[in-house]
Amino acid sequence: MPKVDSLKESIKELNSTVNVIVHNTVLSRDSAMDILRPYDIVADCSDNPATRYLLNDACVILKKPLVSGSALRWEGQFTVYNYVDAKGERGPCYRCLFPVPTNPAHVTNCSEGGVLGPVVGVIGSMQALEILKIAAGHEPSFASKLYLFDGKFGKSRTIVIRPRSKECAVCGDNPTITELIDYESFCGSGACDKVQSLNLLPPSDRVSVSEYSQIRHCNPDVILVDTRPPHEFEIASMHEAKNVTLDELRKLDSSSIRERLALDGGEKHTEEVFVICHRGNDSQIGVEILREKLRPLRIRDIQGGIGIRTPESMCGGVKWHEGANASKGTIGRLYLQSIEDKSSAPDAISSDCE
């Protein structure tokens, strides 16, 4: 069942008299104006920059207040954008605060970073309260203010955000954006709540799982760096991998990294280093960091990460750690084949090592 239909059913169970209009379509530059035009107030509950910019620009052009909320892990926040008060003064819009989108490599969404349901409940309830105030003709409490909630420590605070920018591209005195644009190109990421696949490296600096298997078959001394958090690494990992997180890669100097990977005169003698993560995004960032610290070694990324679901990925040889059986169904399901058991491994590794 589509989410919109499921949501309609849930609302009807709470109050059968509510008129719920379902729009079972993708919100895009082509559909947004027609979808939003009949409504008085818009709530932004999205989880990606492209949709946030799209909703913001549409609400400014249509002159509608935008009640925007977000949540990640233990924390949440919300505010009211583009609200015109009793004096006729317009508050800031999303672009006033963020005229340029953040590099997609540094954006974490709920699908990747996780979020606690009660945190979403707090922020959603606060958004609903502001919507009721505006609909009833009352001044919202969080126009030009940002509410911050920390569920881990049970704290909340409100900060005043800067006023509308006269130079804003969409709500400024001389706007340059008067119609909706291509927001996926503008943000460098898709308008989707799921984890986005980044392309930070050229194809020459990336290899598939099967290509890595072939390389390691010919040169067992290549080094594999796994950038996942230790708790994920402990569930399942490539048996030759060394676990060094992105934060550690950023903090450690060149000598410390070489020592950690046993590069200088240690157990490994290689000119190649490969980086792997869960989905193939963080590993690309890892490659960029290691290039600066391990010159002139060749550093490459393994596309798709350890979560990839292809038959040849079983040749990578993931080992399950003690007590991790309960998690076998969620991470690296196809990596049950140990590379050490070559007699029963899929015939996906060529013997040609030229």
- Catalytic site residues? 110, 277
SS (H, E, C) 13-79: HHCCCCCCCCCCCCCCCCCHHHHHCCCCCEEECCCCHHHHHHHHHHHHHHCCCEEEEEEEECEEEEE
- C-beta atoms surrounding 198 within 10 Å: 19
Structure token pair of residue 289 = 């960091």
- Dist. CA 224–CA 112, nearest whole Å: 23
User: Nearest-CA neighbor of 285 among 312, 249, 254, 255?
Assistant: 249
**Whats the size of the chain, residue-wise?**
354
Q: In DSSP terms, which residues pair with 71 in a beta bridge? A: 76
User: Nearest-CA neighbor of 281 among 115, 148, 109?
Assistant: 109
User: Nearest-CA neighbor of 91 among 20, 191, 162, 5?
Assistant: 162
Compute the C-alpha angle 138/47/168, nearest 5°: 65
The answer to whether the CB of 55 falls within 8 A of the CB of 42 is yes
DSSP per-residue letters across 144-155: TEEEEEETTTTE
The answer to whether the CB of 187 falls within 8 A of the CB of 50 is yes
